[in-house]
């Protein structure tokens, strides 16, 4: 159950989800600021990222809890409009630059490596108004932003992620349309966006490679978030492989494959299907030879976000495959389903199949020749504020076990693991109602009090012992809570109930320590 020497453990957050201070100093507006202020009802609980965890002011608290966990690294993102208020390099915010300088320096002081994501969903409103990720000029605008950030922080940040989850930004956003900026356009949107994201990533990677890599020896990747797709029956095996190519392959082949460009089978399918739809061209935009060379090889490791899996089967004759998270359901005439045996979660999209992460890693290694892989997100969301989060502990433990098996039995080169997330935050369309945190955040408290959950205690022990062979803290809590729930009734006086609550609090504190 031991992890190999050098294996690193971390936790992650993103700027809009934790920073707050949406209009502090000269920060510009992003798409979330704009959409939520216009229509707060788009968020399930009516909250926003205006304050959230208030990490803009409480960044020392964030560093301290990361230190208390014993994290080797902390992955966070930079707000594009906090650095470039207009979205463009005509103005650089001194206060924005100073904020991230303080955070990075404090992390290093505590012995925690900063891993920085340049873009995590919070596009400048000015750029969205010009077409966002479907405007090819965004490739140069993102490059300008990346160049600015590298200039400020490349001397201290050694690991970078350019863009988080392009499959969400493109496929999910344009197919489903319920995430900000809430634009639905299934025909061209996902595919134009797909190409532009890859081009933007490539330009940023090459800026770093040409100007900073030799001096600082840093590494850069793009964070892909494939759902593991496996055949429902043996006859669906070939279809499942096409589905994987349509998903992770479309966002990875142009970067990681020896040939470069789109997966050939998908390029052919898209050309044929587009023609049937009456398009005089493929809906999947082609790469020129120059563009293909620009994108190919722009990686130093594979950044993998993983949460869940699905089964793949052929659609029945009378069945419309519909649209889903990944494009290709209609083009491939397939349906994605959940295995009823996989445990459900409070987040309807996520079902639990820990073996999926090992199978996904095996697929990546076979296709792209044994990459160095960093797991940059993995975690469980719940609607419960309960700090005895047994489910989250099992989820993390079971996925870490599969990662160990991938390393020890499959020979995978996995260098680290990241829990999403360090603490509860603004979880996009769920607001504050969906909780992924190792630390509970009291959003009603003026100081946004951070309290460790049982999962924080568990994860801290895993890191400390560099092993999964550690006690499960919730065993003690579950036993205590069972006794408490069976033994206490409303017949007791209010005074005695107060004493019991205080006693519970003291015992929990002792167990956490």
Q: Is 377 a catalytic residue?
A: yes
Cβ atoms within 10 Å of 178's Cβ, excluding its own: 11
Identify the helix (H) or strand (E) that includes residue 430: none
- Please tell me the distance from the alpha carbon of residue 253 to that of residue 251, in angstroms, as a whole number: 6
**Cα–Cα dist 110/72, whole Å:** 10
Q: Identify the bridge partners of residue 336 per DSSP, sorted by sequence position.
A: 312
At 440, which helix (H) or strand (E)? strand 439-441
Please enumerate in sequence order all residues whose Cβ is within 8 A of that of 94, keeping only pairs 6 or more positions apart, or say none. Answer: none
DSSP reduced 3-state for 460: helix
CB 75 within 8 A of CB 10: yes
Please give the C-alpha separations between residue 146 and each of 94, 150, 225, 336, in angstroms, as whole numbers.
16, 6, 22, 36
Dist CA 357 CA 369 (whole Å): 17
Tokens for 421, please give them. Answer: 């997330």
For 362-388, letters b (16+ CB in 10 Å) and e give: ebbbebbeebebbbbbbbbbbeeebbb
Crossing angle between the packed helical segments 390-408 and 474-487, to the nearest 10 degrees: 160
Give the span between the Cα atoms of 44 and 50, in whole angstroms: 15
Residues belonging to the chain = 513
Q: What separation in angstroms does the CA of 488 have from each of 388, 479, 483, 497?
A: 19, 14, 8, 8
If DSSP codes are grouped into helix, strand and coil, which group holds residue 335? strand
Strand segments (E) across 188-322: 219-224, 228-231, 302-305, 309-314
Point out the catalytic residue in the list 61, 113, 165, 245: 165
Neighbours of 293 (CB within 10 A): 13
Specify whether the CB–CB gap between 457 and 439 falls below 8 A. no
DSSP designation for 302: E
- Give the containing element (helix H, strand E) for 77: strand 73-77
CA distances from 422 to 220, 249, 460 (A): 22, 30, 12
Q: What is the largest CA-CA distance in the chain?
A: 79
Catalytic hit among 19, 61, 230, 377? 377
> How far does Cα 283 stand from its chain's mean position?
27
Task: Report phi then psi at 287, rounded to 5.
Answer: -95, 135
> Mapping DSSP to helix (H, G, I), strand (E, B) and coil, where does residue 323 land?
coil
Q: Which residues are catalytic?
A: 165, 377
């Amino acid at each position: 159950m031991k992890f190999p020497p050098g294996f690193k453990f971390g936790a992650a957050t993103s700027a809009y989800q934790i920073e707050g201070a949406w209009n502090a100093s000269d920060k510009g507006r992003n798409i979330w600021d704009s959409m939520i202020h216009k229509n707060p009802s788009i968020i399930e609980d009516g909250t926003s990222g205006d304050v959230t965890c208030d990490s803009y002011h409480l960044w020392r608290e964030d560093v301290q809890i990361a230190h208390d966990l014993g994290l080797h690294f902390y992955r966070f993102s930079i707000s594009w409009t906090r650095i470039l208020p207009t979205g463009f390099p005509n103005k650089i915010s001194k206060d924005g630059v100073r904020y991230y300088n303080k955070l990075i320096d404090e992390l290093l002081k505590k012995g925690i490596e900063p891993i920085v994501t340049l873009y995590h969903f919070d596009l400048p409103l000015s750029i969205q108004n010009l077409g966002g990720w479907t405007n090819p000029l965004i490739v140069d605008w993102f490059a300008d932003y990346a160049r600015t950030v590298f200039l400020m922080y490349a001397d201290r940040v050694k690991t970078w992620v350019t863009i988080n989850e392009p499959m969400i930004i493109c496929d999910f956003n344009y197919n489903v349309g319920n995430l900000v900026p809430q634009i639905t356009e299934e025909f061209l949107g996902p595919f134009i966006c797909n190409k532009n994201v890859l081009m933007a990533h490539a330009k940023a990677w090459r800026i770093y490679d040409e100007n900073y890599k030799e001096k600082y020896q840093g590494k850069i990747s793009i964070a892909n978030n494939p759902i593991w797709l496996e055949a429902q029956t043996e006859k669906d095996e070939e279809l499942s492989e096409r589905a994987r190519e349509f998903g992770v392959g479309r966002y990875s082949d142009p970067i990681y494959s020896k040939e470069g460009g789109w997966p050939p089978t998908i390029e052919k399918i898209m050309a044929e299907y587009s023609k049937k739809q009456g398009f005089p061209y493929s809906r999947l935009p082609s790469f020129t030879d120059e563009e293909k060379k620009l994108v190919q090889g722009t990686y130093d490791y594979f950044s993998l976000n993983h949460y869940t899996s699905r089964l793949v089967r052929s659609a029945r004759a009378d069945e419309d495959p519909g649209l889903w998270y990944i494009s290709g359901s209609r083009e491939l005439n397939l349906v994605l389903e959940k295995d009823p045996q996989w445990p459900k979660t409070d987040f309807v999209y996520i079902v639990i199949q820990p073996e999926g992460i090992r199978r996904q890693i095996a697929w990546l290694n076979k296709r792209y020749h044994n990459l160095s892989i960093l797991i940059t997100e993995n975690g469980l969301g719940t609607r419960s504020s309960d700090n005895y989060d047994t489910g989250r502990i099992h989820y993390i433990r079971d996925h870490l076990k599969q990662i160990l098996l991938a390393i020890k039995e499959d020979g995978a080169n996995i260098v680290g693991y990241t829990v999403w997330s360090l603490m509860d935050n603004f979880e996009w369309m769920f607001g504050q109602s969906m909780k992924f945190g190792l630390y509970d955040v009291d959003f009603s408290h003026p100081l946004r009090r951070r309290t460790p959950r049982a999962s924080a205690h568990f994860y801290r022990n895993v890191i400390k012992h560099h092993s999964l062979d550690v006690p499960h803290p919730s065993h003690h809590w579950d036993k205590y809570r069972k006794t408490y729930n069976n033994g206490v009734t409303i017949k007791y006086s209010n005074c005695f109930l107060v004493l019991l609550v205080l006693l519970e609090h003291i015992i929990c504190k002792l167990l956490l320590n």
